[in-house]
């Protein structure tokens, strides 16, 4: 084990301790990281036991983008299971390297979580997946040229996005499309040529999160469910320029379907 990975573990353990103290919950079961636009669907999932400003939790950096709530919430579900909502995501494009990116997942694992639900917003490389389409992530392509892991950690990524969890999501919503998510570093969006490249490589969605978090989650043995909400067609996919109001409206229209999916998945975990 390298010094940096033991440092990461210590920081995550300290964050988990803060969460346990604030919530009175020693072990959480399920983790949920919120993508942009997802914050509105988490109300009424259960009883909120603690709502913590992420700045009070060790290792969480102040988010640079609005729409990331910056809250960490402990919720008791109707099933009695404990859900840890991580509403404070650090992106690689913020320039702090991959460790702060992986900190949410590592904190969830340190808090006892064994199932991690990662959500995001993405651009679609497929013109038939219009803004407002929810997509189950089947696999990813990490185009960031980096990793949250260092040293000799040879993690199996052959079923990084749990087949069992995808089956469960499909039992609930059989029409849910499934696709491959390519993570770019950002913060700039892709050129049309880069989107075509990603599509040729096998990507259906492009985004700036999730793949590195999934790598960190798999290294800790967590089962991962990834759900992406398409909020725009990726650059060059549609000849029409995108109207921001349409994107927001499409996202809002999709929220009931996403909320129903999430609620049903959580009931059955």
- The binder of ligand 8IG chosen from 32, 118, 208, 265 (CB under 6 A): 208
- The binder of ligand 8IG chosen from 190, 204, 213, 223 (CB under 6 A): 190
Catalytic residue among 56, 163, 190, 213: 190
Spatial separation of the C-alpha atoms in residues 162 and 179, rounded to whole Å: 14
Q: Of the two residues 45 and 208, which places its CB atom closer to ligand 8IG in the complex? A: 208
* 190 counts as catalytic: yes
Q: Of the two residues 71 and 120, which places its CB atom closer to ligand 8IG in the complex? A: 120
**Residue 93 interacts with ligand 8IG (CB under 6 A): yes or no:** no
Q: Contact region for ligand 8IG (CB under 6 A) — 19-27, 173-181, 204-212, 256-264?
A: 204-212
Q: 104-143: which residues touch ligand 8IG (CB under 6 A)?
A: 121-123
**Residue 236 interacts with ligand 8IG (CB under 6 A): yes or no:** no
**Residue 33 interacts with ligand 8IG (CB under 6 A): yes or no:** no
**Residue 186 interacts with ligand 8IG (CB under 6 A): yes or no:** yes
Q: Which residue's Cβ has the minimum distance to ligand 8IG?
A: 123
Interacting residues with ligand 8IG (CB under 6 A): 121-123, 184, 186, 189-190, 206-208, 231-232, 234
Catalytic residues: 190
């Amino acid at each position: 084990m390298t010094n940096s990975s033991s440092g990461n573990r210590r920081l995550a353990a300290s964050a988990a301790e803060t969460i346990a103290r604030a919530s009175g919950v020693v072990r959480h079961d399920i983790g949920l990281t919120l993508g942009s636009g997802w914050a509105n669907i988490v109300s009424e999932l259960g009883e909120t036991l603690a709502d913590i400003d992420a700045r009070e939790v060790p290792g969480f950096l102040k988010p640079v983008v609005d729409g990331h709530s910056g809250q960490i919430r402990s919720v008791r579900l109707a099933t009695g299971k404990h859900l840890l909502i991580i509403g404070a995501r650090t992106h690689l494009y913020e320039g702090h390297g991959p460790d702060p990116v992986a900190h949410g997942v590592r904190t969830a694992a340190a808090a006892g979580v064994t199932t991690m639900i990662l959500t995001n917003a993405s651009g679609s490389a497929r013109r038939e997946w219009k803004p407002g389409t929810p997509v189950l992530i089947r696999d990813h392509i990490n185009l960031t040229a980096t990793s949250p892991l260092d040293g000799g950690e040879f993690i199996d990524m052959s079923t990084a996005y749990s087949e069992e969890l995808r089956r469960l999501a499909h039992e609930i919503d059989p029409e849910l499309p499934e696709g491959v998510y390519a993570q770019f570093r950002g913060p700039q969006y892709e050129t049309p040529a880069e989107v075509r490249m990603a599509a040729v490589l096998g990507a259906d969605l492009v985004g700036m999160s999730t793949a590195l978090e999934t790598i960190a989650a798999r290294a800790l043995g967590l089962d991962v469910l990834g759900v992406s909400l398409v909020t725009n067609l990726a650059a060059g996919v549609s000849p029409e320029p995108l109207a921001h109001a349409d994107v927001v409206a499409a996202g809002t229209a999709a929220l009931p379907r996403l909320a129903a999916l999430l609620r049903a998945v959580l009931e059955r975990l």
